[in-house]
Amino acid sequence: MPGAGLDALRAAILALFPDLSGARFTLLADGWESQAVDVDDRLIFRFPRFERGAGELAREARLLAVIGPVSPLRVPQTRFHPGPPCFALHRKLPGAVLLPAQYAALPETARHLLAEQLAGLQLALHRLDPGPLRQAGAGPVWDWPEPETILRQAWPRLPPALHRPAERIAAAALPPDPAGSVFGHFDLHGWNLAFDHASGRVQGVFDFAGSGFGPLHRDFVAPSLIAPDLAFRLMAEYEAQGGPKLDRARIAWLTGLHRLMELGEATEAQVARFGLLGNLESWLPHLP
């Protein structure tokens, strides 16, 4: 049901779950790959936006069955319904998203705890046995386009003041990741957290659709969307908990390239809604 409205999604849910007829249905903000419906603040139904999304939701449910028992943070216990219509269902994790302005208001103790919790999750994922993950359908994360392609796509949206910085980002020649490949979330930003603002703790993590095997340093790109401060705290905490030494310059260049890539690939509405030009500008001071 690509792009269906709330009424159509509600009807599809009630056709299979008529006992929810008296529930409150809320269409959550559209994600990049799926639409989500919140039912009574306790159930989440996710419908793929594209045909390829059905397979992704099914794969994610299988992966979560492997990840859940070893994750230090709660993850959804997802059931996949092949349809029609196709959707995934899980109980809502308690908590809310963590936006940049909310992170900025956190006290020092909460910032440290957040980095500690996310580092523990990353280490647990990076140390998972690849065998069961591959049996569940885990594969390589998607390859980014060549830097020259990323720059060309973003160029029409770049103001003249950002031409030189963007060219520097695209020209940063990075060899293959010296740390190799790991299984990771690869999209660990504040919109994928269930954060308890009262206690200052992460209650859970969701959206493992983009998870897979990829370059270790690339798994540290997304957290900076919450705040650069968190990204650097997370790197230090990851190492303190026993993770390998990280190349911060490499992560800085990868983050710049990722923000340039998002700017070029997004729709005009997404550029405005997610502040993608501002995301790129805010990261420039952190480049080597």
- The parent domain of residue 33 ranges over 6-91
Please state the domain count of the chain.
Answer: 2
Same domain, residue pair 138 and 275: yes
Same domain, residue pair 207 and 266: yes
DSSP string for 34-64: EEEEEETTTEEEEEESSTTHHHHHHHHHHHH
Does some domain include residue 163? yes
Does some domain include residue 27? yes
Same domain, residue pair 282 and 233: yes
Same domain, residue pair 138 and 183: yes
Single out the residue in 30, 64, 91 at which a domain terminates.
91
Q: Quick one: which of 83, 77, 112 has its CA closest to 201?
A: 112
Same domain, residue pair 258 and 212: yes
Give the C-alpha distances (Å, rounded to integers) separating 105 from 13, 52, 172, 233. Answer: 38, 39, 34, 16
Task: For residue range 75-109, list pLDDT tens digits in order.
Answer: 999 999 988 888 999 999 999 999 999 999 999 99
d(CA 50, CA 29): 16
Stretch among 135-139, 156-160, 234-238, 274-278 having the lowest mean pLDDT? 274-278
Q: Tell how far CA 261 is from the center of its chain.
A: 15
pLDDT at 55: 84
Do 33 and 49 contact (CB within 8 A), yes or no?
yes
Identify the helix (H) or strand (E) that includes residue 86. none
Q: Quick one: which of 238, 254, 244, 245 has its CA closest to 288?
A: 254
Single out the residue in 56, 91, 126 at which a domain terminates.
91
Identify the helix (H) or strand (E) that includes residue 187. none
Same domain, residue pair 230 and 180: yes
Does some domain include residue 1? no
d(CA 13, CA 45): 8
d(CA 82, CA 54): 7
Task: Quote the pTM value.
Answer: 0.89
Q: Quick one: which of 154, 144, 156, 227 has its CA closest to 186?
A: 144
List the structure tokens of 101. Answer: 């302005």
Answer with the residue of higher pLDDT: 109 or 53. 109
Place 164 in a pLDDT band, splitting at 50, 70 and 90: very high
Single out the residue in 70, 91, 112 at which a domain terminates.
91
Q: Quick one: which of 139, 179, 159 has its CA closest to 55?
A: 139
Task: For residue range 135-144, list pLDDT tens digits in order.
Answer: 999 999 999 9
Same domain, residue pair 49 and 188: no
Sign of CA dihedral 45, 46, 49, 51: negative
List, in order, residues 6 or more apart from 51 with CB less than 8 Å away.
Answer: 2
Same domain, residue pair 132 and 231: yes
Same domain, residue pair 45 and 177: no
pLDDT at 17 over 80: yes
Same domain, residue pair 154 and 266: yes
Same domain, residue pair 246 and 128: yes
d(CA 45, CA 89): 5
Question: Residue 76 is part of a domain; what is its CATH number?
Answer: 3.30.200.20
Question: Residue 137 is part of a domain; what is its CATH number?
Answer: 3.90.1200.10
Same domain, residue pair 276 and 232: yes
